[in-house]
Amino acid sequence: MDIQIRKEGQAGRITLQRPKALNALTYQMCLDIEAALDAWRDDADVSLVIIDAEGDKAFCAGGDIQKLYDTASAGDYDYGRQFWRDEYRLNEKIFNYPKPYIAFMQGFTMGGGVGVSCHGSHRIVCENSQIAMPECGIGLVPDVGGSLILARAPGRLGEYLGTTGARMDAGNAIYAGFADTFIPRDDWAALIEKLCSNGDVGAIERAARPAPPPSLQGQQAKIDHHFAWETVNDILDSLKLDTSEFGSKTEEALRQKSPLSVSCTPIIVQRVRTGNTIEKALKEEFQFTFRAAEHGDFVEGIKSTIIDRSHTPVWTRPDLESVTETDVERMLKPLKPEQL
């Protein structure tokens, strides 16, 4: 069983059970979570929803992309498009869910894992939490509604986190708006028991402890300075003038990712910041992911990072400087209503 869904006391409970696969989300798991949320929405016996996962290494390190890769590399783009449609619909339901939705995020929480946790009303992190949106490294853009969290992060932090894929510990995740509460991992079982028995979300605040100080706060001024530009090439020009370690490491991080993905990400974040709704975010993201396998770097990104692990991808554009406005526009232009 990849996932265990049940009612326990006053709680609807969802537990991801693929610890050896870092609890990566399969298509069926997304559908199962959605069905459970639909069933519990008007169930008077369910006061709140708890999502957690087995194992110490990861709450959920992302989507299970093997099938996406297999189908897309064989020229079948419809499977991926339907998967993303269904996954994004789930993300929107979590964001707008009328009951408390409580996520316990240990270890890696990335990509699709962010989508089933960080849109919840109560997002709990611990000592080993590592949260990130690393999609640009596999030829995608920060998706599953993550662009909305990035857009709402302080200053230009969203552009920085989205393009570099930088990992956040508990303190940084709370600072950036991906989490709410730091609770030591050893205290989780007792808290979950309380939530199930009395349905009182006030127990979360009572269990909270001070989070580690966010290192990103100290870098905020630098991030805002460099990432205030609209285009990635302007961001690069700014970083080249920064002789500090931050400048060189950030430029290096940008250059390791898909040039097309990195070029599109700040534009998506800026558009979503203006629209500022989950629906706007998912629509902007889907315009890219709909085209990612056919016209972008998704197949190559998966192949080099996950399938053959060569880490020497041959991107559609050789570097960031060679991505044109036309390339970006083609990936981000509106889709027809029937494609959405």
Tell me the residue ranges of DSSP E strands in the chain. Answer: 3-8, 11-16, 48-53, 58-60, 101-105, 108-110, 122-125, 130-132, 181-182
The CATH code of the domain that includes 120 is 3.90.226.10
272 pLDDT higher than 90: yes
Domain count, the chain: 2
pLDDT in the model for residue 85: 97
**148 inside domain:** no
The two three-digit tokens of residue 87, written as one number: 């996954």
275 pLDDT higher than 90: yes
- The model carries a pTM of 0.97
Show Cβ contacts of residue 176 under 8 Å, excluding neighbours closer than 6 positions. Answer: 149, 153, 154, 157, 161, 168, 214, 216
**256 inside domain:** yes
Which pLDDT tens digit goes with each residue over 227-256? 999 899 999 999 999 999 999 999 999 999
69 pLDDT higher than 90: yes
Give the C-alpha separation, 323 to 232, whole Å: 10
Q: Using the 3D structure, point to which of 185, 207, 229 is the last residue of a domain.
A: 207
- Confidence class of residue 161 from pLDDT cuts 50, 70 and 90? very high
- Both 237 and 195 in one domain: the answer is no
**157 inside domain:** no
**For the chain, percent of residues with pLDDT exceeding 90:** 96
- Both 44 and 185 in one domain: the answer is yes
pLDDT in the model for residue 298: 97
- Both 85 and 233 in one domain: the answer is no
**145 inside domain:** no
- One-character DSSP codes across 72-116: HHTT--HHHHHHHHHHHHHHHHHHT-SS-EEEEE-BEEETHHHHT
pLDDT in the model for residue 230: 87
pLDDT in the model for residue 195: 98
- Both 58 and 201 in one domain: the answer is yes
Distance of CA 139 to the CA centre of its chain: 14
Asked if 191 contacts 179 with a C-beta cutoff of 8 angstroms, the reply is: no
- Tell me what the mean pLDDT of segment 10-39 comes to: 98
- Both 283 and 186 in one domain: the answer is no
pLDDT in the model for residue 9: 98
- Both 221 and 202 in one domain: the answer is no
- Both 173 and 290 in one domain: the answer is no
Domain that holds residue 320: 215-332
**53 inside domain:** yes
Instruction: Output the CA torsion sign for 134, 140, 143, 146.
Output: positive
**Nearest by Cα to 141 from 25, 260, 232:** 260
Residue spans of alpha helices (H) in 96-187 = 112-115, 146-152, 157-164, 170-176
- Both 63 and 169 in one domain: the answer is yes
- Tell me what the mean pLDDT of segment 256-266 comes to: 98
**246 inside domain:** yes
- Both 200 and 229 in one domain: the answer is no
- Identify how many contiguous H helices and E strands the chain contains and give both numbers: 16, 9
**315 inside domain:** yes
The two three-digit tokens of residue 191, written as one number: 């808290």
220 pLDDT higher than 90: yes
336 φψ region: left (φ > 0), alpha (ψ -120 to 50), beta (else) = beta
- Confidence class of residue 105 from pLDDT cuts 50, 70 and 90? very high
- Tell me what the mean pLDDT of segment 207-222 comes to: 98
- Both 221 and 189 in one domain: the answer is no
- Both 190 and 64 in one domain: the answer is yes
Mean pLDDT of all residues in the chain? 97
Q: Which residues of 310-333 are buried (b: 16+ CB within 10 A; e: fewer)?
A: eeebebbeeebeebeeebbeebbe
**Rounded to 5 degrees, what angle do the CA atoms 178, 181, 187 make?**
130
**What amino acid occupies position 223?**
I
Q: Using the 3D structure, point to which of 149, 178, 207 is the last residue of a domain.
A: 207
117 pLDDT higher than 90: yes
311 pLDDT higher than 90: no
Give the C-alpha separation, 112 to 149, whole Å: 14
- Both 194 and 55 in one domain: the answer is yes
Give the C-alpha separation, 43 to 25, whole Å: 26
**8 inside domain:** yes
